[in-house]
Structure 1
Amino acid sequence: MPTPTWDPAQYLRHAGHRARPFTDLLARVPDLPGDPPRIADLGCGPGNVTALLARRWPTARVTGYDNAPEMLAKACAGPTGDGGRLDFAHADVRTWTPTEPHDLIISNATLHWVPGHTDRFPDWIAALAPGGTLAFQIPGNFDAPSHRLLRDLADSPRWRNRLSGVLRHENAVRTPVEYLNRLTALGCDTDAWETTYVHLLPGEDPVLDWVKGTALRPVLTALAGDPRAREEFVRDYREALRKAYPASGHGTPFPFRRIFAVARKEGPGGR
Structure 2
Amino acid sequence: MEIKEFEKMLASDRHQGNMEQIWDEKSSWFFHRTEKSKEKFENRLVFRLIRDRVLLQENSHILDIGCGTGRHLLEFSKYSSHLTGTDISSKMLTYAKEKLEKVSNLHLLHGNWMELFSKENEYDFVFASMTPAISLVEHIERMCFISRKYCMMERFVSHVDSVREEIQAMLGRALNRLHQNEKEYSYAVWNIVWNLGYFPEILYETEEYEEEKTVEEYLEQIECTKEEEKKIREFLKSREKNGKISSFHKIRRAVILWDIQER
TM-score (ref. length: structure 1):
0.63
Query: 2:96 maps to which residue?
Result: 75
1:28 corresponds to which of 45, 49, 57 = 49
User: For the Cα contact (< 8 Å) 1:188–1:265, is it kept in 2?
Assistant: yes
Give SS of 2:200's match.
Answer: strand
User: For the Cα contact (< 8 Å) 1:37–1:61, is it kept in 2?
Assistant: yes
Amino acid in structure 2 at the alignment position of 1:174: Y
| 2:154 matches 1:137 | yes
- Over residues 13-37 of structure 1, what are the superposed CA-to-partner deviations in whole Å (9 max), with x where a residue is unaligned? 2443777598321222343477621
1:124 corresponds to which of 114, 124, 143 = 143
User: For the Cα contact (< 8 Å) 2:159–2:250, is it kept in 1?
Assistant: no
Percent sequence identity is 13
Query: 1:223 maps to which residue?
Result: none
Once residues 78 and 172 of structure 1 are traced to their aligned partners in structure 2, the CA distance between those partners, rounded to angstroms, is 36
What is the deviation of 1:95?
A: 4.9
Once residues 237 and 10 of structure 1 are traced to their aligned partners in structure 2, the CA distance between those partners, rounded to angstroms, is 26
User: For the Cα contact (< 8 Å) 2:156–2:254, is it kept in 1?
Assistant: yes
User: For the Cα contact (< 8 Å) 2:150–2:260, is it kept in 1?
Assistant: yes
What is the deviation of 1:88?
A: 0.9
- Over residues 227-270 of structure 1, what are the superposed CA-to-partner deviations in whole Å (9 max), with x where a residue is unaligned? xxxxx99x939937966xx789993112223222011111xxx6
Would the alpha carbon gap of residues 114 and 252 (structure 1) be closer, same or farther in structure 2, given more than 3 Å must change? same
Amino acid in structure 2 at the alignment position of 1:108: S
Give the paired residue count.
Answer: 222
Amino acid in structure 1 at the alignment position of 2:194: T
User: For the Cα contact (< 8 Å) 2:157–2:182, is it kept in 1?
Assistant: no
Report the RMSD for the aligned CA atoms in angstroms. Answer: 4.4
TM-score (ref. length: structure 2):
0.64
Would the alpha carbon gap of residues 117 and 181 (structure 1) be closer, same or farther in structure 2, given more than 3 Å must change? same
Query: 2:105 maps to which residue?
Result: 85
Q: Which has the higher contact order (CA 8 A, sep 6+)?
A: 1
| 2:149 matches 1:174 | no
Once residues 61 and 241 of structure 1 are traced to their aligned partners in structure 2, the CA distance between those partners, rounded to angstroms, is 52
What is the deviation of 1:45?
A: 0.8
Structure 2: runs of 5 or more not aligned: 1-15, 166-173
Once residues 54 and 137 of structure 1 are traced to their aligned partners in structure 2, the CA distance between those partners, rounded to angstroms, is 18
What are the within-5 Å matches in structure 2 for residues 155-174 of structure 1? 173-174=184-185
Structure 1: runs of 5 or more not aligned: 152-166, 220-231
- Over residues 166-225 of structure 1, what are the superposed CA-to-partner deviations in whole Å (9 max), with x where a residue is unaligned? x9897795244x43332234343421133443231135349639xx7xx79xx9xxxxxx
1:236 corresponds to which of 217, 229, 245 = 229
